[in-house]
Amino acid sequence: MRLQVARIGKPHGIRGEVTAQVMTDTPDERFTSGEELIVVDGPVKTLTVKSARWNKTILLLSFKEINDRNQAETLRGARLEIDVSEEPEDDSDEWYEHELLDLKVMLDGEQVGVITALRTNPAQDLLVFENSEGQEIYLPFVDEFVPEIDPEAGIVVITPPAGLLTLNSEESENDEEGSK
């Protein structure tokens, strides 16, 4: 099984370092020198960590295979994953982004979108999905609004608060303009 541990951001400096959005609880274990990481959506299949250091709250990574800023730029947006030999304990409250991507979002038995991301935040996580009009919708990832997740069936059932799905749509903006 693979777990995503980071997403590569922009290059930092001229020697091939990159910023990384950390997606693991144990970055000091995951990004040690010599650790081999699997690259998804990048120009290479694997990268070997040369060094990892913190610059305030941003993790900076350098890799043995990347020597300059131009090479580092080609990695922007790539996901870094690791292979784990053991399956985590079955805890229905914990989900990884890769387990949720591309699941159909269902509301009252009808598909209203497809999951495109999971945004982890200090206060609470957000489930991100795209509706049929191509709009991105953010839903707090809590049991009250996401009562059922069934990866085998390929669905996530949602019960959003009233108005959430139309909050920033063009229709709701036109309604506001008409009522002014």
Report the alpha-carbon distance of residue 151 to residue 68 in Å, rounded. Answer: 40
In-domain check, residue 128? yes
Binned at pLDDT 50, 70 and 90, residue 173 comes out as very low
Query: Looking at the predicted structure, is the pLDDT value of residue 120 above 90?
Result: no
Band (pLDDT 50/70/90 cuts) for residue 166 is confident
Rounded Cα distance, 18 and 6, in Å: 11
DSSP SS3 for 70: helix
Residue 11 lies in a domain: yes
Is 64 in the same domain as 106? no
- Residue 128's contacts (CB-CB under 8 Å, 6 or more residues apart) are 115, 116, 117, 118, 119, 136, 137, 138, 139
65 occurs within a structural domain: yes
User: Do 65 and 39 sit in the same domain of this protein?
Assistant: yes
How many Cβ atoms are within 10 Å of 80's Cβ, its own excluded? 30
Range of the domain at 11: 2-83
DSSP state, 161? P
pLDDT at 102: 93
Q: Are residues 71 and 30 in the same domain?
A: yes
CATH, residue 69: 2.40.30.60
pTM passes above 0.75? no
Closest residue by Cα to residue 95 from 148, 170, 135, 59: 148
Q: Are both 77 and 117 inside the same structural domain?
A: no
Is residue 47 located within the same domain as residue 110? no
Overall number of domains in the chain? 2
146, pLDDT greater than 60 = yes
> Among positive and negative, which fits the CA dihedral 129, 152, 94, 162?
positive
More confident residue, 179 or 55: 55
- 45-51: long-range contacts, CB 8 A cutoff, minimum separation 24: 47/75, 47/80
Predicted pLDDT at 121: 75
Q: What integer best gives the mean pLDDT of the chain?
A: 86
The per-residue pLDDT for 172 is: 46
Q: How far apart are CA 58 and CA 24, in angstroms?
A: 14
Give me the mean pLDDT over the 8-29 stretch: 92
Domain boundary among 83, 114, 149: 83
